[in-house]
Amino acid sequence: MSEANSPPDTFYKEMGLVRIVEIDPVGRATLEYLATAEQSHSGGVVQGGFVTGWIDAAMAHAVLGIPGLDAVPMTLEIKVTFFAPTRPGLVVAEAWVVQSGRRTAFVEGSLKDSAGVLLAKASSTMTLASRAKVEAASKAALA
């Protein structure tokens, strides 16, 4: 098991990442986010896209933790079930790989508040894209 502080990356900052708590080589990850009033809509409820994004990022990190994997996990489909409204404050996204092959991973995740109340669950199918191809395509797009 490993613990790391959040990278100083603009994307992580915009998403409200507080820290990457754990990325476990068995295909598990835990990330903490700070849900804010600015991410909320009517009634002080965090917009569902943020909730989905937080769980999706945790699921990608769970896949990235698998030793020897030189691929970029890219979401093909995601299903999210919302159990309770997410309010501003600390939230914890946990994810685990259910099954992974050479090209596809099936992953599940959840979001809980700081008291451990289940707010949402998700399942996802991810394609494991060649890191070299993804990076080359990104460089070409920026050129």
CATH label of the domain that carries residue 39: 3.10.129.10
Query: What is the reported pLDDT for 5?
Result: 43
Does residue 5 or residue 100 have the better pLDDT?
Answer: 100
User: Roughly how many angstroms between the first and final C-alpha of the chain, as a whole number?
Assistant: 38
Is pLDDT at 41 greater than 90 in this prediction? yes
Q: What is the pLDDT of residues 55-87, one digit of tens each?
A: 999 999 999 999 888 899 999 999 999 999 999
SS3 71: strand
Domain boundaries, position 95: 2-142
Q: In the numeric block, which tokens belong to residue 106? A: 């099936």
Q: Measured between alpha carbons, how far is 33 from 59 in angstroms, rounded to an integer?
A: 14
Please tell me the pTM assigned to this model.
0.89
Structure tokens at 113: 């508040």
Distance CA 131, CA 117 (A): 36
Q: How many domains does the chain have?
A: 1
- Mean pLDDT calculated for residue range 41-63: 96
The stretches of 16-130 forming alpha helices (DSSP H) are 48-64
Q: Are 65 and 31 in contact (CB under 8 A)?
A: no
